[in-house]
Amino acid sequence: MCTGKCAKFIGFSLFPLCVISIISNVIQLFPGFELDPISKPGEQITPEVLFLGGVIGGGILVLIPAIHIQATGREGCCNNRCGMFLSILFAAIGVAGSLYGFAVAILGMVRGPTCEFLNTAVNRTEWGRPFYTDLEKFSNKSYLFNSEDWDTCENPKDVVLFNIVLFSIVLSTTGISLILCTVQVVNGLFGCLCGTCGKKE
């Protein structure tokens, strides 16, 4: 496969990943598919959701490179070195965006959702993050591996599963985008330095 066709394939592959990432992040703004939390985003929505890792990182910062990368390869093997050089720069932006979305998704999963739970210390329910854990303290005792602890969150309903599934989707899409954009950096480098292949008469 020549560098132009490879770029075209990568560009097309990034489009659905961007859309899925954006949709997943937007859905997270309505934890448990409830509308009430959106009225108090600072109190009832998980902070990492508001970082918009799926919208900005895995969405916009990957979508813009995807458009250019796909355009670079639209003529198949006949694209030029200048276009391949620019695709390296755009792919680097995609790598940065993917890394951002990936990191935010990991933090969101490790630290757990914001929910209403019974605080036994004061014997009353309150909004907070009952599973909050720093990355350096992450272990197999985390709520992620102990589903029996998920009932700790009383409201919104099933918010823990909701949080895990959607952050996992963002994590997966940004991870795949990261790999594809990295491949395009290498592909663009070959196309720029070695020249793009062409059909021999």
Nearest to 28 by CA among 13, 47, 14: 47
Domain count of the fold of the chain: 1
Mean pLDDT of the region 167-182: 97
Is residue 159, in this structure, part of any structural domain at all? yes
Sign of the CA dihedral running 27, 29, 30, 31: positive
Give the Cα-Cα-Cα angle 57, 71, 14 (nearest 5 degrees).
Answer: 35
Is residue 201, in this structure, part of any structural domain at all? no
pLDDT given at position 85: 85
Nearest to 178 by CA among 73, 21, 2, 6: 21
Band the pLDDT of 162: cuts 50, 70, 90. Answer: very high
In this prediction the pTM is 0.88
Structural domain of residue 127, as residue ranges? 3-194
> pLDDT by residue (tens digit) across 91-131?
999 999 999 999 999 999 999 999 999 988 888 999 999 99
Helices of type H across 28-116: 41-44, 47-50, 61-72, 81-111
Is residue 14, in this structure, part of any structural domain at all? yes
pLDDT given at position 22: 97
Is residue 199, in this structure, part of any structural domain at all? no
For 117, phi then psi, to 5°, come to: -140, 165
Is residue 200, in this structure, part of any structural domain at all? no
> pLDDT by residue (tens digit) across 70-99?
887 665 554 577 778 888 999 999 999 999
Is residue 148, in this structure, part of any structural domain at all? yes
Evaluate the omega torsion of the peptide bond into residue 130 and state whether it is cis, within 30 degrees of 0: no
Check if the beta carbon of residue 94 is closer than 8 Å to that of residue 184: yes
Band the pLDDT of 194: cuts 50, 70, 90. Answer: confident
Distance, CA of 79 to CA of 83 (rounded, Å): 7
pLDDT at 53 over 80: yes
| Range from 35-39, 66-70, 137-141, 179-183 that averages highest in pLDDT | 179-183
Check if the beta carbon of residue 170 is closer than 8 Å to that of residue 27: no
